[in-house]
Amino acid sequence: MMKSFFIGSKEIKLPIIQGGMGVGISLSGLASAVANEGGVGVISSAGLGLLYKHKSGDYPGNCIWGLKEELRKVHEKTKGVIGVNIMVALSNFADMVRTSIAEKADIIFSGAGLPLNLPSFLKPDSKTLLVPIVSSGRAANIICEKWDRDYNYLPDAIVVEGPKAGGHLGFKERQIESEDYTLEHLIPDVVSVVQKYGERKNIPVIAAGGIMNGNDMLKFMKLGAAGIQMASIFVPTYECDASDVFKQTYINSSKKDMVIIKSPVGMPGRALYDNFLHKVDMGETKPGACSFHCIKTCDYKKSPYCIIKALYNAYKGNMDKGYAFAGANAYLADKIRSVKDVICKLKAEFDVAVTK
What was the pLDDT predicted at 293? 66
Structural domain contains residue 326 = no
Query: What pLDDT band is residue 177 in, cutting at 50, 70 and 90?
Result: confident
- Find how far residue 240's CA is from the centre of its chain: 14
Query: What pLDDT band is residue 284 in, cutting at 50, 70 and 90?
Result: confident
Q: At 46, which CATH number? A: 3.20.20.70
Structural domain contains residue 139 = yes
Pair (126, 224) in one structural domain: yes
What was the pLDDT predicted at 255? 95
Pair (169, 281) in one structural domain: no
Three-class DSSP category at 101: helix
Question: Helices 214-222 and 183-195 sit at what angle, rounded to 10 degrees?
Answer: 40
Number of domains in the chain: 2
Pair (177, 259) in one structural domain: no
Structural domain contains residue 228 = yes
Pair (216, 256) in one structural domain: no
What is the extent of the structural domain holding 272?
245-321
Please list the residues that pair with 12 across neighbouring strands: 5
What was the pLDDT predicted at 57? 72
pLDDT digits (tens, 9 = 90+) for 110-143: 998 999 999 999 999 999 999 999 999 999 999 9
| 25: nearest Cα among 167, 157, 148 | 167
Which pTM value belongs to this model? 0.95
CB 147 within 8 A of CB 119: yes
- pLDDT above 90 coverage of the chain, percent: 80
Pair (140, 282) in one structural domain: no
